[in-house]
Structure 1
Amino acid sequence: MHPRLFSPLTIQGLTLKNRLTMAPLYLGYAGQGGTVSEMLLEHYRLMARSGVAMVVVENATVDHPAGSGSNRTLRADTDDNLAGLKRLAEAIKQEGSLACLQINHAGRFAHATDQPVAPSAVNTFGRLPEALEKRQIDRIVDKYASAAARAQTAGFDMVELHGGTGYLLAQFLSPRTNRRTDAYGGSLENRQRFALEVLARVKSAIGDLPVGYRFLADEWLPDGLQVDESTQFAKSLDHAGIAYISVMGGTYESFSLPEIVEKSKQEGYMLDLAAAVRSAVDVPVVSAGRFAGGTFAERAIAEGKTDLIGLARVLWADPLWPQKVRDGREADILHCNPDCGDACMHMVMKGRPAFCVAWPAEKMKAWKAKYK
């Protein structure tokens, strides 16, 4: 069943045993202050045990509190968290998956600070971020490099730069949020400068460790970043030595738009974005976005639209997804319900660890007894 989906792929010397990855998903499972909690460890053990080839751990901040989305955002900015990160990498690899740490600066979406920073002072849900000065930009570039080196020391096999969801790397790239008039603003060449500086500095810090990129292909906003420019940026990443590009669409300012809510209910709703990027680059591309079953995923790879499949909420709802697909039991998959109203997202936005409302009653009861 599905020979392409379960075929290996090598990325810069690392072999993925199949084409399935866990795409990063923030669930609020880290401890207060961004520590590696037992809840987080148990979650990632389960995700790795599912059989995916690589697990990408979500959104570890490079600069707390200025770059943290919340006080439960995992921290990679301090050696105080290094022992926990080592336990996390080891837990994933012991279950047979490659371990990748996604590192991030939230920029204008940082909620662990009263004064967020951004490329430009653009209103963000009623808050006005401070426009970054050049010395601050240089400092943040160094912070990315230090966090990547920390991930390497902790034993992660790869690092992923979070350039999606409208976070800081994407904020520099977007004509909507970058209104600078210096070397970091204006033309696409200037707007991509920050991300390419981060990539170069990270690669310098960690040597041969592969560096991937969570890639915002389209903000789904009329005045935002769109595919014609983002694919040009993808080529720049390819030329700069990126290991893979994990494609997504949308930001916190477009996710709740009625047309985007409806779009996100469709199977593979971001596959067209991945296909556009795939046609522009030579490096492997990951596509995510509600891959409900193996037949659709197999066809996406066979048609050359993507090289890898990223499973996020799909895998969280049913960690047996890979096994059921491999064994021809797709009818038994427990599906993420697109009509639940994004209950899990609402939980984490309220600062609460999330659970899936699609879980069977017995699993839900056990989870609440242990963690609520």
Structure 2
Amino acid sequence: MLCRPLEIDEIHLLVRRFGEAAARAGDAGMDAIDIHGHTGYLIDQFMSAWWNRRTDVYGGSVENRCRFATEIIAAVKANAPGLPVSFRLSVNHRFAGGRTTAEGQAIAVVLAVAGLDLIIADDGSYADDGSYETMDYVFPPYHLGDACRVPAARALKDVVSVPVMAVGNHTPENAEAALAAGDADFAGLGPELTEKSVRILTAHTVTSVDADGLTATGQDGAVHVIVSTVIAAFGVRPDTALTQRSKGATTCISSATACTRPRSARPSRRPS
């Protein structure tokens, strides 16, 4: 079956659906919303000249190709007021004809102006040309080395003023190094905390990981919550690698110290 261009009304419907989903996330008590705009999925296809051959307001220039994404950002922020919004961007598709780093930087500028609170710097894509090697950057194996996507974060830091998160094969040590060098504002730890949780968390004075794999106990007796990527990235200072949940306050693990607040103190996020 061949693909076809979406009609304008269909695009507007999809944007509304993103907004409705954001409202549900806010009502459910989520701490932040991350827009999945990378690795060749629909939003990424709109932003990329490799896939987007439209000749209307959603195609052509970088600004037009980003229009679908920026309208989604606006819908999410309108329907979940007060919720920080991040966007995961493939800075370089790493296949012939795909996005270059320079184009990724141009896209990041447009997205930042749209009101994002954070950009997560990704790399690679599901390629159409059979180059499976590019998928390594979507799920980076260890042969790519530690902190293999830090150059992508650095490229975005050079052009945007909003915070940038580096992700991919981090250890606490190289995550802190990336922050100290100014290559990123945050370092996201996801699979690293599930696959190697005992080794990594031990480096941060955690004495045991609970059976559910989601919490750990520190030497101070506090319960630490293992979470991934974006939730820890808002309202924080990038100076330590572990935070904790206690007395109903919400914090999480990241290269950050969270500014916590009790859930009961949160304002309503659905617009009146």
TM-score by length of structure 2 reads 0.69
SS at match of 1:171: helix
Secondary structure (helix, strand or coil) at the match of 2:201 reads: helix
**Secondary structure at 1:245 match in 2:** strand
Match of 1:305 among 183, 192, 215: 183
Bigger RCO of structures 1 and 2 (CA < 8 A, at least 6 apart):
1
Q: Partners in 2 of 1:153 and 1:321 — Cα distance?
A: 36
Take 2:36 and 2:135, find their aligned partners in 1: how far apart are those partners?
21
**Aligned pair partner of 1:201 in 75, 78, 83:** 75
Determine the C-alpha separation between the residues in 2 that align with 1:256 and 1:296. Answer: 29
State the partner residue of 1:50: none
What does residue 163 of structure 1 align with?
37
Whichever residue aligns with residue 273 of structure 1, its letter is A
Which of 166, 173, 176 is matched with 2:50 structurally? 176
Within a 5 Å distance, the mapping from 1:40-189 to structure 2 comes to: 128-189=2-63
Question: Structure 2 residue aligned with 1:283, among 147, 158, 162?
Answer: 162
CA contact (8 A) 1:242 1:283 kept: yes
Query: Is 1:271 aligned to residue 146 of structure 2?
Result: no
Which residue does the alignment assign to 2:85?
211
Cα shift at 1:319: 2.7
Sort the Cα spacing of 1:163 and 1:321 in 2 relative to 1 into closer, same or farther, 3 A: farther
Residue in 1 that maps onto 2:222: none
2:198 is aligned with 1:320: yes
Deviations 1:220-271 (A, max 9, x none): 1121112112212212222222110111011122896347649852111111
What does the per-residue CA deviation read over 1:61-91, in whole Å, with 9 as the maximum and x for residues that have no partner? xxxxxxxxxxxxxxxxxxxxxxxxxxxxxxx
Equivalent residues of 2:154, 2:184 under 8 A apart: yes
**Using the alignment, how far apart are the partners of 1:269 and 1:327 within structure 2?**
26
- The root-mean-square deviation of aligned C-alpha atoms, in Å, is 2.2
Q: How many residues align?
A: 202
Match of 1:121 in 2: none
Post-superposition CA distance 1:194-216 (Å, at most 9, x none): 10111112111111211111111
**CA–CA distance in structure 2, aligned partners of residues 208 and 157 of structure 1:** 10
Identify if the C-alpha distance between structure 1 residues 311 and 142 changes in structure 2 by more than 3 Å, giving closer, same or farther.
same
Alignment of 1:5-44 (within 5 A): none
Partners of 2:182 and 2:116 lie apart in 1 by 20
Contact 2:127 2:135 in 1 (8 A): no
Sequence identity, in percent? 35
Sort the Cα spacing of 1:163 and 1:258 in 2 relative to 1 into closer, same or farther, 3 A: closer
Residue 237 of structure 2 is aligned to residue 237 of structure 1: no
AA in 2 matched with 1:324: T
Supply the distance in 2 between the matched residues of 1:310 and 1:218 (Cα, whole angstroms).
19
| Secondary structure at the counterpart of residue 150 of structure 1 | helix
Secondary structure of 1:233's counterpart equals: helix
**Residue identity opposite 1:309 in structure 2:** A
Check whether the contact 1:278–1:285 (CA below 8 A) recurs between aligned residues.
Answer: yes
Q: Within 2, Cα distance between the matches of 1:222 and 1:307?
A: 30
Distance 1:301 1:273 in 2: 14
Structure 2, unaligned runs of 5 or more: 208-272
- Conservation of the 8 A alpha-carbon contact between 1:173 and 1:225: no
Separation in structure 1 between the aligned mates of residue 59 and residue 52 of structure 2, nearest angstrom: 6
Paired amino acid for 1:311 = L
- CA distance in 1 between partners of 2:81 and 2:206 (Å): 41
- The Cα shift of 1:303 comes to 0.5
Structure 1 segments of 4+ aligned residues over 3 angstroms from their partners: 258-264
The secondary structure found in structure 2 opposite 1:213 is: strand
Indicate the SS of the match to 1:131. coil
How far, CA to CA, are the matches of 1:203 and 1:261 in structure 2? 32
Measure, in 1, the Cα distance between the counterparts of 2:133 and 2:16.
Answer: 39
Task: Look up the SS of the partner of 2:68 in the other structure.
Answer: helix
Unaligned runs of 5+ in 1: 1-126, 330-372
CA shift, 1:188, in A, is 0.8
TM-score by length of 1: 0.51
In structure 1, how many angstroms separate the alpha carbons of the residues matched to 2:24 and 2:51? 30
Q: Are the structure 2 counterparts of residues 260 and 137 from structure 1 closer, same or farther at C-alpha, using a change threshold of 3 Å?
A: closer
User: Given that residues 22 and 76 in structure 2 are in contact (C-alpha distance below 8 angstroms), is that contact kept between their aligned partners in structure 1?
Assistant: yes
